[in-house]
Amino acid sequence: MILVEPNPLPIRIHDRAVVARERAQAARAALADCQLCAHHCGVNRLAGEQGLCHAGAEARVFSTQLEVGDELELLPTFAIALSGCDLRCSFCITGAESWNPRVGEPLCTATLAAQAEAAMKTGARTAMILGGEPTVHLPAALEIVAVLPPSLRLIWKTNAHGTALARTWLEGLFDVWLADYKFGNDHCAERLAGVPRYQNVVRENLAWASHHSELIVRHLLMPGHVDCCWEPIARWLAAELPAVKVSLRSGFWPAWRATNHPELSRPFSLTELQSAWTIARSYSLRLIE
Ligand code: SF4
């Protein structure tokens, strides 16, 4: 059982920018000993050192767009994608474009604020900060939060591989955490994404998020990984977080280096999809589209 503190009061909307701006300064200073994600590299990014994500001190933006392909209740969303990621999932659909922190344009918060205003006029109800993995660029993400229109609901789209330190700076600022739970055991996480201790880290993040914001747990179904990954994830969610919304994604495509793993060389099958839904129903998960 994971213990988390009681649900705190959310930060009032009109305080959001002030709090985000203050925390951004603290988070930026902490890049001198980077502990933002569970790799705990401890490198000085302000001095040009690089950890496993290879990110520097400044963030770049590889995409901004009005997104309509995410969970229906979040749409339309103005999606801001920061370059760089701390994981290297073999099947990453965007590949180097998302995990290479050198791609995209330098972050300009004034430009993003103007784009967000324009997006609202065309129907955006929410703004989503994602990556790559936005935790890698937490100072920049907080600077973005500080300039976004206060009426937009904010979504933190994350791989749930951040640290307790990162969470202290995120607390109360985002209305929704949209968090991936990718692998149902540490062996698959290590083999497919090169990440150790995955279960402990992701479960700690999800438990925390469920007490500090609305949480949607997303799982991308992978071919050949229903029994070893989806079933244990579903079982854990049912036991520990039965009230959270679960988004089961079936659009796996063998992108990037997926073909290095024989079972990932094909799309997800209809038979597997039926099996995955049977598992979800057997645990009475709160599925959303
Ligand atoms: S964000 Fe994570 S991977 Fe990148 S330097 Fe910091 S601790 Fe290392």
Q: Ligand 1: which of 31, 33, 35, 37 to mutate, most ligand atoms within 8 Å of CB?
A: 37
Q: How far apart are the first and last CA of the chain?
A: 28
Q: Which two tokens stand for residue 176?
A: 């929704």
d(CA 212, CA 215): 9
For ligand 1, say whether the CB of 134 is within 6 Å of any of its atoms: no
Domain-located, residue 28: yes
Domain-located, residue 1: no
Cβ atoms within 10 Å of 165's Cβ, excluding its own = 15
Domain-located, residue 4: no
Host domain of residue 64: 15-288
- Residues facing residue 162 across a β-bridge: 37
Q: Give the closest residue to 143 by CA, choosing from 20, 37, 58.
A: 20
- Separation of CA 280 and ligand 1 centre (Å): 34
- Residue 40 CA, closest ligand 1 atom number: 7
For ligand 1, say whether the CB of 165 is within 6 Å of any of its atoms: no
- Separation of CA 143 and ligand 1 centre (Å): 19
d(CA 51, CA 109): 25
Q: Give the per-residue pLDDT at 1.
A: 47
For ligand 1, say whether the CB of 204 is within 6 Å of any of its atoms: no
Domain-located, residue 105: yes
Q: Give the per-residue pLDDT at 14.
A: 67
For ligand 1, say whether the CB of 61 is within 6 Å of any of its atoms: no
Torsions phi, psi for 214 (to 5 deg): -75, 140
| Segments of the chain with pLDDT less than 50 | 1, 3, 6
The CATH number that applies at residue 180 is: 3.20.20.70
- Residue 52 CA, closest ligand 1 atom number: 3
Q: Give the per-residue pLDDT at 94.
A: 83
In our burial notation (b when 16+ CB lie closer than 10 A, e otherwise), range 251-264 reads: ebebebebeebeeb
Give yes or no for a contact between 75 and 122, defined as CB atoms under 8 angstroms apart: no
For ligand 1, say whether the CB of 162 is within 6 Å of any of its atoms: no
- Separation of CA 86 and ligand 1 centre (Å): 6
Three-state SS for 44?
A: coil
User: What are all long-range contacts of 137-140, with beta carbons under 8 Å and residues at least 24 apart?
Assistant: 137/55, 137/59, 137/82, 137/84, 138/27, 138/36, 138/162, 138/166, 138/169, 138/170, 139/24, 139/25, 139/27, 139/28, 139/31, 139/59, 140/24, 140/58, 140/59, 140/82, 140/107
**What's the residue count for the chain?**
289
For ligand 1, say whether the CB of 85 is within 6 Å of any of its atoms: no
Q: Give the per-residue pLDDT at 93.
A: 86
pTM (2 d.p.): 0.95
- Separation of CA 87 and ligand 1 centre (Å): 10
DSSP 54: -
Q: Give the closest residue to 100 by CA, choosing from 61, 126, 49, 69.
A: 61
d(CA 207, CA 124): 29
For ligand 1, say whether the CB of 31 is within 6 Å of any of its atoms: no
- Separation of CA 192 and ligand 1 centre (Å): 19
Domain count, the chain: 1
- Positive or negative: CA dihedral 143, 146, 149, 154: positive
Domain-located, residue 8: no
d(CA 182, CA 184): 7
- Residues facing residue 158 across a β-bridge: 179
Q: Ligand 1: which of 33, 35, 36 to mutate, most ligand atoms within 8 Å of CB?
A: 36
Domain-located, residue 2: no
From residue 269, alpha-carbon distances to 165, 235, 272 in Å are 40, 22, 5
Domain-located, residue 5: no
Cβ neighbours of residue 256 under 8 Å, at least 6 residues apart? 90, 91, 92, 93, 95, 96
